[in-house]
Structure 1
Amino acid sequence: MNSYDKTLDFLINKLPVFQRNGPAAYKNTLGNALVLDRKYGSPHQNYKTIHIAGTNGKGSVSHMVAAILQKAGYKTGLYTSPHLKDFRERIRVDGKMILKEEVVRWVNDFQEKNIEWKLEPSFFELTVALAFDYFSQQNVDIAVIEVGLGGRLDSTNIIHPEISIITNIGLDHTSLLGSTPEEIAVEKAGIIKSGVPVIIGQKQKEVAGVFERVAQQKGASLCFAGQEFTVGYSMRGLDGKQIVNVRVKDKVIFPDLKLGLAGMYQLKNLPAVLKTVEVLKKKGWEISRENLYEGLAQTSELTGIMGRWQVIGYNPAIICDTGHNEDGIREVVAQINHIAYKKLHFVLGVVADKDPSNILALLPKD
């Protein structure tokens, strides 16, 4: 193995990894995250951040927001998880993945220092520390940070962001986050910070009160973006990409807005993105209408996102989508129902904490 392969072997095979170990890899404390942050000089304080949680859609929202910021000329860090093909997808600056040499250098440095520190971090804790330190070294203006799991006790929840975003609430990781939408919402609401505007993508009546209560307690302004913006189809291409019209009340404010990310479910994600841009502009960030249009149209090219109704082959059509829980699979199946096909084959992967029977029951029967 070369040095990079050895580094990945250490990260993925020697440390607890949620995608492999399931709940056994989850640590219900911020202890290691806080210690690592201190050891590296609190690097996240050297740049602004946006924090994004939610059961589904947080990855898409993260990439769309990052793309718009990039088009606005800001040097933009982007931390997302999990990766699809390459570990380095998780850590990007202006869409470019962290170099292999940087991963090797940082992990080697940690291993040397940890002889004295004697920390036992999980894969996610160490990866977050790497990302936050890397963004500081790269002198980013702002970093878009996607929560890994939950919110309150997630390793990313040491930041004090410009904006906190929660896309939606669904039943996922119930063994760790709670068995009801309300319990899960409490965990997600853990990213709401004192005085920091919070944007909820979709208003769901069973959990709206949770967010309203926590925001009031923290003195954080709150809005439900899906209530403010109405997104309607204009047209849809064969690849699933949409051109949409966006209304506020009865007025079209964003006509013919092209979404570079395919999938009808992106229409549910878009209001949170639009509200984020609105709030950022009020805070003094310079983002033009052209930046917004170009960022949304070119998200894939700008950020390298994969796996959102991504057509990776034709004849036969092969589509990759990272939907991995019941709500996510429902969205995938809804999209499939708009496509004519003779035979349908599914390859499905789920984490060890899920009962696949509930997901399998959602798949088309024909």
Structure 2
Amino acid sequence: MTSYKHTLDFLYTRLPMYQRTGPAAYKDTLENTLVLDELFGFPHRNFKSVHVAGTNGKGSSSHLLASVLQEAGYKVGLYTSPHLIDFRERIKINGEMISEEAVVAFVDQFIKMNETAQLEPSFFEITVAMAFDYFRNQKVDIAMIEVGLGGRLDSTNIIRPEVSLITNISLDHTALLGNTIEKIALEKAGIIKESIPVVVSESNNMYNHVFEATAREKQSPIYFADQQFQSGYSMRLPEGKQVFYFNKIGQLAYPDLKMDLLGNYQRKNAAGVLKTIELLQEKGWTIENKAIYEGFSNASKNTGLRGRWEVVGNNPLMVCDTAHNAAGLTDVAAQIEATPWKALHFVLGMVNDKNLDQALAVLPKEANYLFTQAKIPRALPAPDLAAQAATFGLRGQVIDSVPEAVAKARSQAQPEDLIFIGGSTFVVADYFS
């Protein structure tokens, strides 16, 4: 049998991978996905699913849903991207990663089958096929399927889910998805299926009409979660969780709902998740209130989600977050502002295919920046990042690598300070690895 390392080398080097190479890896057709699905006997037809798209929050929402359904006693698949440390993070069942042996066996099987088919699938296409095949073979009850990029042409978009969930829309991946909110919304709306209910976590007059028009065309019931569920206070608890209450149309529905995913922005994701759970209940899924509370309280523990306002150190407080576009970094900046600190040290790295101006414009000017770069080809060189950041009044030092930048921040920080690590998923990944 092929070694796991050799298999990963095949996946990473023989097949284009968006997280490393960027737009060159993007496919604008589902043709390979459909052929792969047929090769493996249409695995996606053998399990129920929830499809999750959106610019920000789709990872947190997918993990929250998986955690709640797991607490409800179901065998739950979870497909997400990208991974932080281990490729196998992308494919999980009840929080357990796919085994190395299963990854190797699938790729070996693909290579053998492909001697006849002669496909040249992308990294995403083969990884989605692997996930769907694994979920079928392991007989999951339901799987949370996170869109990789966009929606309409994403490799995951062959499923017919129980519910479609779209978290929100903001400008990101504009070179591929369009340079306006409406164009991006149209790509995300591509996951709306005939007669399948769709939930939108965050309504916005800039894009509501796009989803409403697609839902009408598909005869799909549509729900804007934040118009039904409103959250109240957020308090940080001693055990490292935060607590909200949620009203539903003015009536208290979920008092003292604890979450082990931190960051005030999680309340936006929670509204969409709660509405999705309600629709699943209407379809016959048994999800008691206890499972909802336990699922929210133990989402990170149950699913292994990391990098969402994750506290990784104290005295000084150290936090990392995978937010990587203007909308996500706006939420991060608000969270930083709401956090007590004496001085702010900001380890910042970004990729070279983002709208830097929009992202840099929302970052705090009073921070001491340590400009760095992750170990991927897409990383924006740290000197270039520092030069562009200076035009927005953001100043600091250029440090070659993420570990060196974090070490420098630690050496400069006092116990009452805050060290933030982010700007890119891959900066966070380099910190953890």
TM-score band by shorter chain is over 0.9
Distance 1:332 1:237 in 2: 20
SS state of the match for residue 127, structure 1? helix
User: What are structure 1's unaligned runs of at least 5 residues?
Assistant: none
Equivalent residue, structure 1, for 2:100: 100
Shift in alpha-carbon separation, 1:13–1:100, aligned structure 2, 3 A: same
Distance 2:347 2:91 in 1: 27
Deviation at 1:234, TM superposition (A): 4.9
**1:120 equivalent in alignment to 2:120:** yes
SS state of the match for residue 19, structure 1? helix
Pairing of 1:179-190 with structure 2 (within 5 A): 179-190=179-190
Deviation at 1:352, TM superposition (A): 3.4
User: In 1, are the aligned partners of 2:234 and 2:264 still within 8 Å (CA)?
Assistant: no
User: In 2, are the aligned partners of 1:66 and 1:76 still within 8 Å (CA)?
Assistant: yes
Q: Which amino acid aligns with 2:122?
A: S
Pairing of 1:269-348 with structure 2 (within 5 A): 269-348=269-348
Equivalent residue, structure 1, for 2:395: none
Deviation at 1:246, TM superposition (A): 0.7
> CA-to-partner distance for each residue in 1:187-246, whole Å, 9 max, x for gaps?
000000001000011110011001001000001000100100011115223787321111
Larger RCO, structure (CA 8 Å, separation 6 or more) = 1
Deviation at 1:356, TM superposition (A): 2.7
Q: Count matched residues.
A: 365
TM-score, reference length from structure 2: 0.82
Q: Which amino acid aligns with 2:312?
A: I
User: In 2, are the aligned partners of 1:240 and 1:309 still within 8 Å (CA)?
Assistant: no
Pairing of 1:117-266 with structure 2 (within 5 A): 117-237=117-237, 241-266=241-266
Q: Please, what is the CA RMSD of the aligned residues?
A: 1.4
User: In 1, are the aligned partners of 2:326 and 2:359 still within 8 Å (CA)?
Assistant: yes
Q: Which amino acid aligns with 1:263?
A: G
User: What are structure 2's unaligned runs of at least 5 residues?
Assistant: 367-433
User: In 2, are the aligned partners of 1:49 and 1:159 still within 8 Å (CA)?
Assistant: yes
Deviation at 1:316, TM superposition (A): 2.7
Distance 1:284 1:34 in 2: 30
Deviation at 1:317, TM superposition (A): 2.2
Deviation at 1:348, TM superposition (A): 3.2
Question: Which range is displaced more, 67-76 or 342-351?
Answer: 342-351
Shift in alpha-carbon separation, 1:21–1:156, aligned structure 2, 3 A: same
Distance 1:297 1:265 in 2: 16
Equivalent residue, structure 2, for 1:362: 362
Distance 2:191 2:27 in 1: 17
Equivalent residue, structure 2, for 1:110: 110
User: In 1, are the aligned partners of 2:241 and 2:297 still within 8 Å (CA)?
Assistant: no
Distance 2:11 2:314 in 1: 35
Distance 2:92 2:139 in 1: 13
Distance 2:117 2:345 in 1: 49
Q: Which amino acid aligns with 2:300?
A: S
Distance 1:42 1:284 in 2: 25
Shift in alpha-carbon separation, 1:358–1:342, aligned structure 2, 3 A: same
Distance 2:326 2:226 in 1: 21
Equivalent residue, structure 2, for 1:73: 73
Question: Which range is displaced more, 307-316 or 146-155?
Answer: 307-316
User: In 2, are the aligned partners of 1:239 and 1:262 still within 8 Å (CA)?
Assistant: no
Q: Which amino acid aligns with 1:324?
A: H
User: In 2, are the aligned partners of 1:22 and 1:351 still within 8 Å (CA)?
Assistant: no
> CA-to-partner distance for each residue in 1:14-60, whole Å, 9 max, x for gaps?
21111111111000100111110010001011110100000000000
Distance 1:347 1:10 in 2: 32
Deviation at 1:282, TM superposition (A): 0.5
Distance 1:181 1:75 in 2: 36
Shift in alpha-carbon separation, 1:351–1:112, aligned structure 2, 3 A: farther
User: In 1, are the aligned partners of 2:325 and 2:359 still within 8 Å (CA)?
Assistant: yes
TM-score, reference length from structure 1: 0.97
Deviation at 1:180, TM superposition (A): 0.5
Distance 1:6 1:304 in 2: 26
Identity rate, percent: 57
Distance 1:261 1:255 in 2: 17
User: In 1, are the aligned partners of 2:198 and 2:220 still within 8 Å (CA)?
Assistant: yes
User: In 1, are the aligned partners of 2:311 and 2:319 still within 8 Å (CA)?
Assistant: yes
